[in-house]
Chain A
Amino acid sequence: MNEISKLDENVLLIILSLKDNAYIVTIKTKLEKYLNKNISLGTLYLSLKRLTRDGYIFTKIGEAVSKQGGRAKKYYRLTPSGVMKLKEIRRLHMLMWKNFDNLADKALENR
């Protein structure tokens, strides 16, 4: 399995959390809100491009709705392998962070 960057990981999680409403505007807004920093459109676009290429997400053109000038949007969804990737990352994380509180406290006490 390919390593993916922290940004790509976050984008995946955001898309997952947005469920049916993940398109470029919502992804960007939510990502910026969570990370509390500006993510440029280009950065996001390239990340989405990478994830699509690696098969973690797929796109779907939505139908034009009367709201917002009646434009069709491009929605992003996770593929099964995208979900698997997130699971894998989470498993690794859990492994790494196991017993963190305990260890951290001890490290501080020993000083």
Chain B
Amino acid sequence: MKKNRPPAAGQKFLRKMLPFNERKYITEGLEDLFAINLKDRGKALTLLWYWKEILCTTIVMIKDNLIGSVIMLKDYLKIAFRNMRKNKFYTLINFISLTMGITGSLLVLLFIDHELNYDKFHVNQENIYRMILEHPVKFAKGRTIFSSTPPAMKEAMVNEFPEIINASRYKNGPGIIKCDNDIYAVNNFKYVDPEFLSIFSFPLFNGDPGTVLSEPFSLVITEKEAIKLFGYQDPIGKTIIADGKYEFTIKGVLKDLPVKTCFDIGFLAPIETLSSIRGKDYLINWGNISFELFVELRANTDLMEFENKLPNFIKRHGYTGNPKDHYMFQEVSDVHLIGEEIDIVDNRRIQTLLLYSAVAFLILLIACLNYMNLTTARSTVRSKEVSIRKVVGAKRLELIKQFIGESIILSLLALIISLTVVRLVLPYFNDFINRELAFAAVFNAKIFITLLFLSITVGIVSGAYPAFYLSSFMPQKILKGSYSYNKKSGVISRNTLIIIQYVISIVLIICTFGIYDQIRYMSEMDPGFSKDCILTIGLRDQDLSSQAFLDELKKYPNIIAGAYSNGTPVRTWGGDLPDWEGQTEDEKETLFLNMQVENEFFDFYDIPIVEGEIFTRENTGPENRQYILNETAVKTIGWENPIGKRFRRGVIVGVVKDFHYSSVRNRIKPLWISRLSGKGRILSLKIASNDITSTLKHIENTWKKFSVNYPFSYSFIDEQINSMYETERKLGTSMTFCSLIAIVIATIGLFGLTSFIAEQKTKEISIRKVLGATVPNILKMFSGEVSLWIFLATIIAVPSAWFITAKWLNSYAYRTHLSLLSVVSAALIAQLIAVVAVCMHVFKTARKNPIDSLRYE
């Protein structure tokens, strides 16, 4: 008998597919049929028949099930929409918070997608690299990376390494161009090799990419620049004058560059031009590392192996830089995101992305918690529906499916509205993050799928808890009316949800305050030099760097003083690795910043000399110079008495007090100052604070008298200082915005919840009133409970906020600490908002005439 049985696995599988009350008969029937078949056809054929039978049955059952669930879906949809219509208020609250959450994440998603997809449009994108240089420098926290190569490296690499298909140097060109007597300041004039246009996919309107850049002094111009310079005339063959004397002829027009590229190009000229301008040797030396180099490698080149060949290669060719310099390849698509950083570990772009993602996630979480909270709170209303469904035969799983389905519908609706909202706010967001995100990117398959996935996940996450909670009701108890909704567990979990929401909000608020504390600290901090009413003018034209210009300016009474220099307290001139008397091997790689100033400079900027004196001798050349160090430099070297010590090829004559010449994010670095030799490149002017407009007008007029080739431009020192803290200020603004959204979502959630509780407790309130409670009494009763929640939330939030803020502040060399005031005010704000939200609602209920709610008929 046993032998005649069908395979147990198949039978078990069949049982699983069938409804409980049918299982027995069907499987037994199949068993009988198996036995009959076995008699007629033999074992093998019967087994074949059996599995075919199971397979066909499975297919048929799946089909049937699908049809069934579509029918149920229609039913669920109907119920979901009815419920939404019935509870407009709660639905609206859920909907608004979900929309806010999804909108935030959508913006961040667009931003991330944008940032990660720079320079991906080049045909050979994955084989294009930029040469970067890892350079050992002290005082940097992580790796220090520069994108600098010597100009001769290109030719040598192309000749020696067959892995390289094409290579192109890239260097900034002239900053001033003249065209039809109009002068423009430009920063997108670049010198490149002719191969540049074949490595990168920047198409030309006309002209052959292989030849347009082959002759020196030819020029390729972008469409945008062409329109700016020539209107709608054909620019081909026209000429422009760069830096006052070099004439370039336009040979081709480039289509405007896509937004997502790291290149900022308006004009392209062949790099060979430089050997005409700067002399024959300029492009064939191994010392001047001021060129970027892009290479296109053959596919499947082993980068590690290639990089290992490079140290030997540069040594052989007589590379004169630091012998520890190590060249590497950087993918072109990483150039935007990683770029060139002094501290690559401290990469702000990636940090910002992470921060935005974290905040978007938190906001979304608050929105989900809101949904859970309101839905479970309203469970009493739906418990009857659940019970009836259960009595009629719905299984728990079906109910869970139904409730999760409802939240998914809501979140998908929220997604649709979010798309509209994003469309509206995108221009402002773009302005804020300084990018050009396109709304169309939303419909890019990857993003769209992520979005759908995101909102469905939000639906599932926020629907799951209510679904399990609601579907757990016992129908007999609910329908009999003996079920108590204030079951302890339900209340506790709801409070927990509220507390979590507030913890997140309070953390965000405290962090925001922390950021503002630091911003205030930075802007109020004494930079160590005077900064009021000082403006600086960059002098590109040699004619302007003369005492005559300054004298002419000084004739105007509102111009109080002036000083020439290379570098200002806000922006140093350069950096190098100097040597000094008694320097140890270990100290050889200490980075010093430097600048060249006139003696008036110290008085002008109020920078005190703490030891020694100002320069006494003219700067005549690299030998026998006089140097002034800052205090940090002296400390770094470790001299007790620095005056008269040998430093570079000169002596120390003085020490100035430390001043903050860059963002206080960075520690003050060692600095040497030497006397200006020849013409200064920057003129600082101190002006009277009254009637600034006409003073500026006067400066401009004087400028025009002295220089015809250059446009006038200036900037104020305090504005320059402010712009150093632009990142922080933006961070502050965005955090304010985010914490605002968080607290709003949390509060409308709380608002909804209290309105519900108030509704539930109408009778209690009425009885209390009848027994003599006053409206304030009742308000106190409700708000007391809420205050306790918020208080708990504050206790949890403060340490974590403190931790996060401390971590953030740690990246600043000069930092404040989270002030008690910030913490207390954040807590108070949260309390106040919560209590007001609660009272607003309870007040309405409490003021009602108790008779209305207590009377039965």
Interface of A toward B, CB cutoff 8 Å:
23-25, 28-29, 38, 40-43, 45-46, 49, 68-69, 71, 73-74
Contact = CB atoms under 8 A, between A and B. Distances in A.
B26 A45 contact: yes
B29 interface: yes
B58 A24 contact: no
B53 interface: yes
A93 to B, nearest CB: 27
A71 B28 contact: yes
Contacts of A25: 29, 32-33, 36
A49 B17 CA distance: 14
B26 A43 contact: no
B585 interface: no
Contacts of A23: 25, 29
A25 B36 CA distance: 10
Nearest to B18: A45
22 contacts: A24-B29, A25-B29, A25-B32, A25-B33, A25-B36, A28-B29, A29-B36, A38-B53, A38-B56, A41-B14, A41-B26, A41-B30, A41-B56, A42-B17, A42-B60, A43-B60, A45-B22, A45-B26, A46-B60, A49-B22, A73-B25, A74-B25
Interface string B17-44: 1100010011011101100100000000
Contacts of B623: none
Chain A contact residues, majority secondary structure: helix
Task: Bin the interface of chain B by size.
Answer: 20 to 34
B57 interface: yes
Contacts of B28: 71, 73
A29 B59 CA distance: 21
A68 B32 CA distance: 8
> Nearest 9 pairs between A and B by C-beta?
A42-B57, A40-B56, A24-B29, A42-B60, A74-B25, A25-B32, A25-B29, A41-B57, A40-B57
B64 interface: yes
Contacts of B61: 42, 46
B26 A24 contact: yes
Contact of B53 (A29, A41, A73): A41
B29 A46 contact: no
Contacts of A73: 25, 28-29
Nearest to B28: A71
Given A24-B29, A25-B33, A29-B33, 4 more contacts: A24-B25, A38-B53, A45-B57, A69-B1
B33 A42 contact: no
- Determine the main DSSP class of B at the interface with A: helix
A25 B17 CA distance: 19
Nearest to B33: A25
Nearest to A27: B29
Nearest to B55: A40
A69 B4 CA distance: 12
Given A45-B18, A68-B32, A40 B25 contact: no
Max chain B C-beta neighbours (<10 A), residue from A23, A24, A71:
A24
Nearest to A39: B56
Contacts of A28: 29, 33
Contacts of A68: 32
A95 B25 CA distance: 39
A40 B59 CA distance: 10
A68 to B, nearest CB: 7
B64 A46 contact: yes
A45 B29 CA distance: 11
A109 B597 CA distance: 119
Nearest to B60: A42
A49 to B, nearest CB: 8
Contacts of B57: 40-43, 45
A25 B58 CA distance: 18
Contacts of B18: 45
A43 B56 contact: yes
Nearest to A50: B64
Interface string B54-78: 0011111100100000000000000
Contacts of B30: 41
Contacts of A41: 14, 26, 29-30, 53, 56-57
B357 to A, nearest CB: 48
A50 B18 CA distance: 15
A46 B66 CA distance: 13
Nearest to B14: A41
A17 to B, nearest CB: 18
Contacts of A43: 56-57, 60
B58 A42 contact: yes
Contacts of B58: 42
Contacts of B1: 69
Nearest to B17: A42
Nearest to B1: A69
Contacts of B64: 46
A68 B28 CA distance: 10
A40 B32 CA distance: 15
A46 B58 CA distance: 12
Contacts of B52: 38, 40
A7 B22 CA distance: 20
A28 B57 CA distance: 13
A10 B18 CA distance: 23
Nearest to A40: B56
A26 B53 CA distance: 16
B112 to A, nearest CB: 48
Contacts of A74: 25
Contacts of B33: 25, 28-29
Interface in B497-544: none
A24 B24 CA distance: 11
Nearest to B62: A42
Contacts of A71: 28
Contacts of B25: 23-24, 73-74
Nearest to A71: B28
B790 to A, nearest CB: 56
B29 A40 contact: no
A71 B32 CA distance: 11
A71 B14 CA distance: 18
A77 to B, nearest CB: 15
B26 A40 contact: no
A6 B143 CA distance: 78
A70 to B, nearest CB: 11
Interface string B205-240: 000000000000000000000000000000000000
B27 to A, nearest CB: 9
A42 B30 CA distance: 11
B22 A40 contact: no
A24 B32 CA distance: 10
A24 B64 CA distance: 19
B66 to A, nearest CB: 13
A71 B33 CA distance: 14
A45 B56 CA distance: 12
Nearest to B57: A42
A68 B59 CA distance: 30
A41 B58 CA distance: 10
B503 to A, nearest CB: 53
Contacts of A49: 22
A46 B32 CA distance: 19
Contacts of A46: 60-61, 64
A1 B60 CA distance: 26
Contacts of A38: 52-53, 56
Contacts of B22: 45, 49
A68 B53 CA distance: 22
Residue from A42, A46, A49, A69 whose CB has the most chain B CB atoms within 10 Å: A42
Nearest to A32: B33
Nearest to B29: A24
A69 B29 CA distance: 12
Nearest to B30: A41
A71 B28 CA distance: 8
A42 B32 contact: no
B56 A42 contact: yes
A92 B768 CA distance: 75
A99 B17 CA distance: 48
